[in-house]
Amino acid sequence: MAGRPALWLGPLLLLSLWVSLAPASLLRRLGEHIQRVQESSGLSLTSGPGAGALPKLGWLEQPLDPFNTSDRRSFLQRYWVNDWHWASPRGPVFLHLGGEGSLGSGSVMRGHPAALAPAWGALVIGLEHRFYGLSVPAGGLDVAQLRFLSSRHALADVASARLSLARLFNVSASSPWICFGGSYAGSLAAWARLKFPHLIFASVASSAPVRAVLDFSEYNEVVSRSLMSTAVGGSPECRAAASAAFAEVERRLRAGREARGALRAELGACSSLGGAEDQAELLGELQALVGGAVQYDAQAGAPLSVRRLCGLLLEGRSNRSRSAPYHGLRRAVQVVMHSLGQRCLSFSRAETVARLKVTDPQVSGVGDRQWLYQTCTEFGFYVTCEDPRCPFSRLPTLPSQLELCERVFGLSTSSVVQAVGQTNSYYGGQTPGATQVLFINGDTDPWHMLSVTQALGPSEAALLIPGASHCMDMAPERPSDSPSLLLGRQSISQQLQIWLRLAKQSSASSGG
């Protein structure tokens, strides 16, 4: 239960490098892969007082149901600690929140907030999200258990961990706690400040989709626009080639069994393409591949950038062949599958449903079942291409995606619609009203459409970085970083300086 002593396991290093072969969202698999690559590049500090250090691993005992004091069940929540730059118990604490996946040790060793810690003598703590990674309660992932998985439960964990960790590390009551997070965890960081302003002094929310939405058609609008952007290596010809490639895939799907068999062989598909559901799944995977090139453009570990994808799609245009863009898309599939270590492109609808129904966390993969549950019960976020201006296939449709909620969890479409509305009502959507929050987004990232990209007031700031992709500001610095990204990171540092100066003044005035 909250308030019990933390379980401390001492300095350990744990980094998982396996890649799930589950046929769930390709975007999630890409995200996991990129996170592992970026974290593995920062497992030790290369200079300064903590050179060669390893992070510490700890566990907190947390209430399974923090909203029911009579429920005595608990679970162990994993956290990582980097205390090498912590100057004193009065120094700030940078609390890095985990999201819909495993949180590795590299999360507190490199990239932000770890890169920002030396300047302010900060203690860096990474808190894994309940039901993900190794922070899965006993009892598995059946629906009765998953009712304890939500952003509200996660925020209760943040508040409980904030109090327990302050006691464990003897942190001064005057020390400011600043939350960091990216993507869904970025939303959590903003909401932690919104709901617990007495515990969280400020928050840095990167690529945070704070507005829940059922039909996220805006995602592909940004993908289409980015494929045309010369700033990231796109062009109008590239967008046209992408559209032609998808049209050719659909033509071959309609052309009969022999053509579908050839398509299966050329794309390296794991199973047949006879069923309409499987064909829609395939088209969805191909959309995710193109979307992933945009969402994670130019990041370390990303198999494809916009520039490279466009190069493949336009490689054979000189011969004016109708199938040239398709062959470019085929090569793009091969690049991604090789990078992810996958033998073939999996898209069986029946297999997807079967895997998502697995309740054993050791078998269910990288959190696909858990995240689907959260989309069904809180966020939606279903990417569609049903607008006539969308350059990709109209499949899969929104109803087919919503059907997963019914088939896997028994949740009706009306309940999902209601849940999305309740989420926006509870958190405020794109006008959350939280003070001392910095929202950071890149205009190449499709998720910026659901975030806060313009300042809502003097203490609710926003930064939109030109040419930056999803959570790019959080990644370890590289020589290839653009001037706009470098300037964006400087702005984050300056905002932190303002907040920490304010915290110091507040502590002095109160006699802390």
Measured CA to CA, the distance from residue 296 to residue 306 in angstroms comes to 9
**The sheet that has 7-11: what strands, in order across it?**
7-11, 56-63, 74-82, 123-127, 93-97, 177-182, 202-206, 437-442, 460-465
CB 190 within 8 A of CB 208: yes
Q: 351 in helix, strand or coil?
A: helix
Q: 269 in helix, strand or coil?
A: strand
Q: Among this protein's residues, is 470 annotated catalytic?
A: yes
Task: Give the pLDDT confidence score for residue 11 in this predicted structure.
Answer: 27
Across 20-151, where does the E strand assignment appear? 56-63, 74-82, 93-97, 123-127
Cis peptide before 396 (omega within 30 of 0): yes
Residue labelled with tokens 């009306």 = 414
Supply the DSSP symbol for 344.
S
Q: What angle do CA 372, 223, 27 make, to 5 degrees?
A: 30
Name the burial class of residue 81, with classes exposed (0-12), middle (13-18) and buried (19+) by CB atoms within 10 angstroms of its CB. buried
Catalytic residue, chosen from 129, 153, 448, 470, is 470
Measured CA to CA, the distance from residue 95 to residue 113 in angstroms comes to 8
The structure tokens listed for 198 are 């007495």
How far, rounded to the nearest angstrom, does the alpha carbon of residue 126 sit from its chain's CA centroid? 15
Q: Among this protein's residues, is 445 annotated catalytic?
A: yes
Block mean pLDDT (10 aa), the chain, length 512 = 33 26 54 69 42 78 96 96 93 96 88 91 97 94 97 98 97 97 98 98 98 97 96 96 96 92 90 88 93 94 95 81 89 93 84 92 80 97 90 92 97 98 98 96 98 89 97 92 96 96 82 60
Asked whether the CA dihedral 88, 89, 92, 97 is positive or negative, the reply is positive
Residue 314 backbone dihedrals phi, psi, to 5 degrees = -100, 5
Task: Give the pLDDT confidence score for residue 213 in this predicted structure.
Answer: 98
Residue 148 backbone dihedrals phi, psi, to 5 degrees = -95, 15
Catalytic residue, chosen from 443, 445, 451, 469, is 445
54-211+430-510, superfamily in CATH?
Alpha/Beta hydrolase fold, catalytic domain (3.40.50.1820)
Task: Give the pLDDT confidence score for residue 347 in this predicted structure.
Answer: 77
Task: Give the pLDDT confidence score for residue 82 in this predicted structure.
Answer: 96
Provide the residue ranges of all domains of the chain, joining segments of one domain with +: 54-211+430-510, 214-358+367-422
Torsion region of 11: left, alpha or beta (phi above 0 gives left; psi -120 to 50 gives alpha): beta
Task: Give the pLDDT confidence score for residue 386 in this predicted structure.
Answer: 86
Report which secondary-structure segment, H or E, holds 299: none
Catalytic residue, chosen from 160, 183, 226, 271, is 183
The two beta strands, 74-82 and 123-127, are: antiparallel
Residue 97: what residue type?
A: L
CB 436 within 8 A of CB 203: yes
Quickly count: other Cβ atoms within 10 Å of residue 348's Cβ. Answer: 20
